[in-house]
Structure formats: structure tokens, C-alpha cells
Structure 1
Amino acid sequence: MNYNLITILGPTAVGKTRLAVKLAYHFNGEIISADSRQVYKSMDIGTGKDLSDYIMEGEKIPYHLIDVIEPTEEFNLFLFNQMFYDAYHKITSKKKIPFLTGGTGLYLHSILKGYLLEKVNMENAQYDELSKLSIEELTSKLKMLNPNLHNTTDLKIKDRVIKAIIIAQNKNKTEKSVKKKINSLTIGVKLDREKLKERITERLKHRLNSGMVEEVKNLLANGISYDKLIFFGLEYRYIAQYLKGELNYNDMFQKLNSAIHNFAKRQMTWFRKMEREGIKIHWIEGPNFELAKKIIEENYS
């Protein structure tokens, strides 16, 4: 098969970004991020941007879809696809290889399966009709449309549930349309469950010691509401609860640590679902550069 994209995916904390950067450096490529939170500016530690990872041998490897909007703005699947294809065409026009990397299952799936999405109009009769329903009715409707809901924080705020329903309905109508011609060579990075748990916990400790609480304080100081922080989930949700006095520090750490472990499990569920749908993933144990390089050399053309 003639591939025109290389995807490096895996659960959080496996080292996939650093691996993707090494591969992009070796194969003359650029990175496109598939992370639903790294698109936001001023959210660096909590989202794990680790921009120093993009420096190889003193050379900065170009990246896309990181730091592209303000935390006050909305981001969704449609915008991700729009920005992905803009970046993809820019990279390929320079005769370079695009490397898509990240762990947001829905975003990855939309590219690898070629969703054809249309812009959703939120100012319409459908929105008005849905707004009459209770949060419980809306939540039930959304779960019926999307049983494998990736971001359960959508269920906390009525406006976001309504928007998620409209987007899900739009996706269901358009997903089976003509696919964009992306053929990805996809490599998955995984780790032994206990080793991954250990890495997640150690990384969380490191981020908390590196100023993650201060980052959330700065977001609040710059006008980001507690509700919006809760929407961002994981680190931002639990630190916001800590700063509000709803959790002490130890409880915040334990609950957040557990939530990240569960998030990693949900990511793997997404990837297994993708495999069942026919997406071939070449799994490797850990961010093994030599093995990943070999897979690309033997398959990418």
C-alpha cells in the first residue's frame, strides 16, 4: 500500500511523542498533534506539551496543532479536522512526511477512517429544541448517539451536552460519505500495565513539582472559570477542586492519579475498537526507535 501519513499512537505516558519526534527527525518529517487539550495556549504542564521533546540534535522539529487557540475558545472535531488537513497539505507540499501523534481516540479515528464533516450550526432550531430538555434527558440522548463517549466531562454542562449531541448527529450523518484519501502506516506504543501505572504516577509527581498547580492558578487569574477547568478534565478538574477547597492535596493527588490510570485504559479501548474496524496497528513494546524505524523502512512508500 502507498502510505501518505505515519501515525504514532498509544496511551498516555508511553513516550509516543518523543518517539514520533525522533522518527520525524530521521525521516525528514513534521509532527501533527492529535491531542484535544494541547491545542490550548497557556495549558502546558497539565497537557504534557513537553516542547523540549521537539528538539533533536539542536534542531527544532516543526509541530502543528499545539498552542493554536485560547482556553476561552471552543475546539471540536470539525476544527481539528480542518486544521489537520491544513497542516497535512503544508507538510506534504514541502516533500516532507507528516507524522500524526497523540492519544485522543476520536481525533485519530476521524483521520484514519476519513470522516467527512460539515460545519455544525449551533444557532438553529435544533439547538433551541434540545435546550428545552433536562440535563438528564440530554445526557441519555448523547450516550445513545455515542456509547463510547471519550470526554465524559461533556456531561457536566448543559450547553456542552447540547453541542456534543449536534456534533454527534452530524458525524453520524456524514461519516459514511466519501472518505478523504489518507492511508496511514500506524504504529502503536504500549507498555506492560504495571510499568505504565508506575510511569503515570511518577510523571504526575514530576508535573506537580514543576508548577502544575501554579499553572491552574494562572488560568483562573486570567479569567478561566472553574466550570471550564472542570470541562478540560483530569489535571485541571482535580486541581480546580483542590483550589476551591473541595479536596485536600492528598485526595486530589490520589483521585487524579486514579483518573489518569482509567483514562489510559479508555484510550486502549479506543485503539482496540479501531483494530476491530480494520485499522492495522503495528504494536511495539515501549518507544523503541529502532523497531519503529524498521517498520517504517519496510512498509512506508
Structure 2
Amino acid sequence: MGQNNSLYEYLAVSLRKPLESWFLKGEKLQEIRLRIGQPLMIRYDGEEFFLTEQGHGYRVWELEEEKRKKVFYITEEQMQETLSYLSDYSLYAYEEEIKQGFFTVGGGCRIGVCGKAVVENGEVKTIYPVSSLNIRFAHEIKGCSDRILPFLFKGERFLSTLIVSPPLCGKTTILRDCIRNLSNGGSYEREKKPHYFHGKTVGVVDERGEISDFFCGMAQHDLGIQTDVLSQCPKVEGMMMLIRTMAPEIIAVDEIGSEEEMNTMIYGMNCGCSLLATAHSASMEELLKKKAFQKVKEEKMFERYVILSRRNGVGTIEKVYDGDGQEIWESKERK
């Protein structure tokens, strides 16, 4: 069942049969959603399916009244059993993460959590009882960033890059592979000529543990031979720690969005670091409408913007822009 095999064993026993065939299909399984009293749902290759007890999948738009009777509904007992397995019977050990709405398990899989928020003095302390889980799979696809490398260099110099896409379009997967390539060094082809680059020292702040899947002092995903990782650390504090102590040539982070994060990245840039990051948006125009990102363009923090979609599958590269927001490449592929 590939790299997701261990997560299959974390599911309630009664959920394994309907999901078994989908796990066997491998890398295209993106999410499993459990909601008490609602149908078992998965996202597979960009589409949502409700499953029957035998594992047959109905697309969301196919679920008419008669088919609703055939799908598999999640019980409170199945939810509790799955939570126990995922947390190794120690859910309290994940409370610091859960109060942010998620926790991360082996393989870099992030588990989104909803239910009743327990609030004290205006702060969320935990979520209990849990009514919904969103199990998101981390996929390591080596070589998936090769296609964008020719746009990300000027000679030997890496150009600070922001990877932009809506959710579930593969930006974390491509970020992870970019880090590996930059750390190891290698080559790319431009204008039918090979170009070579030396490996760089990359500092990664992995706030949610999805990039590295850090375990027992080691990244479980391949991030290259010159990469230093701060796992489960807030991005702002983590970037400052890396700048002060690890002298990274490149700082890499996932899903930036706050003004404080932008200011810290500007500080890193002024300290001589190149930047590699991702952000949520469907287009360059939508990105620059966000207040925090207006400063990004003004300060010319990034010299390249890579826009992703899932038009031709997860990780479709749509466009590349330069630091002035001018389009320098557009995909000619059509679905």
C-alpha cells in the first residue's frame, strides 16, 4: 500500500474494508473525511467520493436519495477508535497542536480536527468532543519540481520564489522537492543547454510538520543533504532562530500569510538569505489583493512567482511571473 500503509492501520477496524482498495491505488488518495452521522468521504485525484461498506465510491453529485441508503455512515464509536489509534491512546499529548485545529502523525499526514472548542480566558485550550476529522496525506514525489528549476536561477544564484495555488494543488509537495533539489545541487536545461548549480544550505521552518515529517531527530522525507529543519516551530520565531544560528543561504517555509511573517522574511532577505515559500491563492491577481502581499510586491521580496492548479492533475504548473509581476511563462497544455 506504499507510504500510506501505516496510516491505514490507524483507522477504526470497521473503516478499513471500504478504504482498502483506495489505499491500494496509491499516490492519488489525498484525503479521508470522517464526520459523525455523515457518509465516509474521500478525495481521490481531485474528486470527492462517498463510499459504501464494500468500498464503491459515489461522486458527490451522484448521491441521490436512493444511493444515500447504500453509503457508509460514521458512528461516534468509529470516531473514538480512530482517534485512539492516531494518537496512540494519548490524545492529551497532542493538545498543543489540537488547539490550533490539527495534529500531525507519521508520514507527514496532517489531521484536521473539528468539534466543541474548550475555551478558557478567551483562548482555545483543546477541542473535545471531536465530531470531524480530515486526514490529509503528504506525498513525496521526487522530481516534481524539476520542470520549474530553469526559471528559478540567474547563473548560480537562486531567485527568491513564491509557489502559489489554491488548496490541494500540490504546493507543499513541490516545495519539498524544491528544497531537496536546492540542497543537493544538480542541473537543469534551459534553451537546450545544461546548466549546473551547487547545493545550498537550506533552513526549513516546518510549523505543522508536513514538509519534513520530523521524527526521532530526522526528517522522514528527503529534504537533501544540506538542509536544517526546525519542526513544530512558529514561522516567525523559527526564521529568526535559523538566521541567528544556522547561516542559511535559503530560508524555506510553507503557507505564509501574516504581516509579521512578511516582515521577518524581509529581515532575512536583508541578511542575505534567499526565500522559498508557498501561499494560498488561485492567481497572481488574487494574491496581490491581499493586504499582507501588497508589501511583498513593493519590497520585491520574491523574484519569481509560480502559479499551480490541478487543471491537468495535482501540481499543474500554469504560469511563472517575475518580481515585477510580469508573466514570463505560461503553460500551453490543454486538458
Per the normalisation by structure 1, the TM-score is 0.25
Structure showing greater radius of gyration is 2
Higher RCO (CA < 8 A, seq sep 6+):
1
Specify which structure has the higher proportion of helix: 1
Specify which structure has the higher proportion of strand: 2
Per the normalisation by structure 2, the TM-score is 0.23
